[in-house]
Amino acid sequence: MTPGVDAPTWPDEFAERYRRAGHWRGETFGGMLRERAVAHPDRIALVDPEPERRTWTYRELDEAAGRLAAGFAARGIGRGDRVVVQLPNVGEFAEVVFALFRIGALPVFALPAHRETEITHFCSFSEAVAYVIPDVHAGFDHRDLATRVRRHSPALREVFVAGEPGPHTALSEVPRDPAGPLPGPQPHELAFLQLSGGTTGVSKLIPRTHDDYLYSLRGSNEICGVDADTRFLVVLPAAHNFPMSSPGWLGTLYAGGTVVLCPKPDPTTAFALIERERATMTGLVPPLALLWTDSAARGERDLSSLELVLVGGAKYSEQAARRLEPALGCKLMQVFGMAEGLVNYTRLDDDPETVVTTQGLPISPDDEVRIVDDSDRDVAEGEFGHLLTRGPYTIRGYWRAPEHNKSAFTEDGFYRTGDIVRRTPSGHLVVEGRAKDQINRGGEKVAPEEIENIILAHPSVHDVSLVAVPDEYLGERTLAHVILRADAEPPTAAQIKAFVRERGVAAYKIPDLVRFVDAFPHTGVGKVSKKGLRSVAAFPEQP
């Protein structure tokens, strides 16, 4: 563990190899934005269309980030400090993130959907000194949430609000004239902490460095053809790794293109923006891709600017994939990635069958991919098995999680993705399933243990097990099997859901279905059989 990094990093021989190969070029995010601002100051970097259309040229974004960095620094936020950023797709997101990059403070990327339980955990576990929020988003007042979070987070000194601050500090009060350049981070140091989808009770934090993440952007841009003419529409939450870097809004800024923020992902909002802003590229999870494909048939908007749509985050069915290109009049690319690192794309010159039936090839020739059996032995070529990976942008360990790292990584540094894949003769990966205890609800990841722990706290509940059930639209939905205490007042399914909601978790984690049972099926070794539960899951919900 390198001091100050709080996580295992690449051994020197690997770091040297990645530098020699030209993957790690010694760039930082702060430096990157400055260079673009010098090279093409007046090009539009960012468009935030709501409520009134606002734009930032590269020079304006660079200056805004510099002034905000100076203001944050004046308030004592320094290099290595953690700052939980929970902003929706608004222009301030980019200003805040680049300001923190410039200081060398580490954004911790929370999703707008996260609530008290998650945010309190992120703030306390990361010992965050500040938390950045919108005032009200999607009808929810984040200022009240921040007040509650503050009570349980002793390290949290500041709450900054994009909008009306209430009892907190307005983000607009922070910027000031920079006194001079800030020392800033080194390229091999951490840039930010991403959240893992998680298989345990709480999300793990994923430490990404400037060197490694910038390489994944450069590689993604090359594969997707991102350049200064790209107009990338950010439809998914900007904090998620997929719309951030595959190739995403950071990739687009790296290439000198234009990022258009989409406030809501529905076809009505997004199609109007594509037409008005002439968006050329976007990334979608499969349920949204389905919705867009169906809506495009109505032909109410001019989508002719669209050149490429990336679909990933969860398995995209072959049937749905076949319909996208004709409906949207653009190319499809599948992407199979993870916030821990490895990202695979189908290629622009792949034949159409490969694009609809596989999840692509890794970005880098130095991405090492192993497909192994339960004993970590390589399976025969073409067989399916567990995907292990290491490479120039895949982490070697989670942040401050030495115990978990022992099982999440092999001794020689491969990340155990928990995905079951096979490789086609062309080297493309096909995702066949999952070995990890995680539910993929249309790209949003739910760790059953996290929700089981909450339901177990209900006074009438004796035991609970959360499993995935197939769903035509989302791919998977969540089903909680609940065993009640013999002597307790039996709650209804709705009361169990309300109980989870009241604990303050993201809405997508509230069980879709609740079923009361007398016992769980067990495996041979006495563990609850999730497979057994999934197979009895076809029964209707009980009141």
Closest approach, Cβ 177 to ligand OOB, in A, equals 38
Would you give the end-to-end CA distance of the chain in angstroms?
51
DSSP state of 482: E
Write out the residues near ligand OOB by the rule CB under 6 A.
197, 241-242, 246, 312-315, 334-339, 343, 359, 417, 419, 431, 434, 440, 443, 445
Task: State the Cα–Cα distance between residues 256 and 39, nearest whole angstrom.
Answer: 9
Are 312 and 325 a contacting pair, CB within 8 Å? Answer: no
For ligand OOB, which is the closer residue by CB, 174 or 342? 342
For ligand OOB, which is the closer residue by CB, 441 or 497? 441
Closest approach, Cβ 154 to ligand OOB, in A, equals 30
Any idea which residue has 């020739």 for tokens? Answer: 365
Q: Which residue is nearest to ligand OOB (CB)?
A: 337
For ligand OOB, which is the closer residue by CB, 49 or 312? 312
For ligand OOB, which is the closer residue by CB, 255 or 439? 439
Closest approach, Cβ 359 to ligand OOB, in A, equals 5
For ligand OOB, which is the closer residue by CB, 118 or 158? 118
The three-point CA angle 332-323-305 to 5° equals 50
Strand (E) or helix (H) holding 322 = helix 318-328
Closest approach, Cβ 241 to ligand OOB, in A, equals 4
Closest approach, Cβ 375 to ligand OOB, in A, equals 21
For ligand OOB, which is the closer residue by CB, 337 or 413? 337
For ligand OOB, which is the closer residue by CB, 333 or 455? 333
User: How does DSSP assign 201-243, residue by residue?
Assistant: SSPPEEEEEHHHHHHHHHHHHHHHT--TT-EEEE-S-TTSHHH
Please give the structure tokens belonging to residue 309: 């749509």
Per DSSP, the three-state class of 313 is coil
Which of 94, 79, 414, 62 has the alpha carbon at shortest distance from 244?
94
For ligand OOB, which is the closer residue by CB, 271 or 336? 336
Any idea which residue has 């032909």 for tokens? Answer: 299
Q: How many CA atoms, within 13 angstroms, populate the side-chain half-sphere of residue 198? A: 19
For ligand OOB, which is the closer residue by CB, 49 or 337? 337
For ligand OOB, which is the closer residue by CB, 113 or 182? 113
DSSP state of 454: H
Task: State the Cα–Cα distance between residues 244 and 310, nearest whole angstrom.
Answer: 13
For ligand OOB, which is the closer residue by CB, 141 or 449? 449
Per DSSP, the three-state class of 513 is strand
Instruction: Tell me the C-alpha to C-alpha distance, in Å, between residue 7 and each of 168, 208, 372, 380, 530.
Output: 33, 10, 26, 34, 32
Instruction: Tell me the C-alpha to C-alpha distance, in Å, between residue 13 and each of 5, 27, 147, 162, 369.
Output: 18, 20, 47, 44, 19
Close Cβ partners of 115 (under 8 Å, ≥ 6 residues apart): 145, 504, 505, 506
Closest approach, Cβ 75 to ligand OOB, in A, equals 32
Closest approach, Cβ 483 to ligand OOB, in A, equals 29
Closest approach, Cβ 321 to ligand OOB, in A, equals 10
Any idea which residue has 């030209």 for tokens? Answer: 22
Closest approach, Cβ 360 to ligand OOB, in A, equals 8
Closest approach, Cβ 440 to ligand OOB, in A, equals 6
Q: Is 486 exposed, middle or buried (0-12, 13-18, 19+ CB in 10 A)?
A: exposed
Closest approach, Cβ 342 to ligand OOB, in A, equals 8
Are 56 and 162 a contacting pair, CB within 8 Å? Answer: no
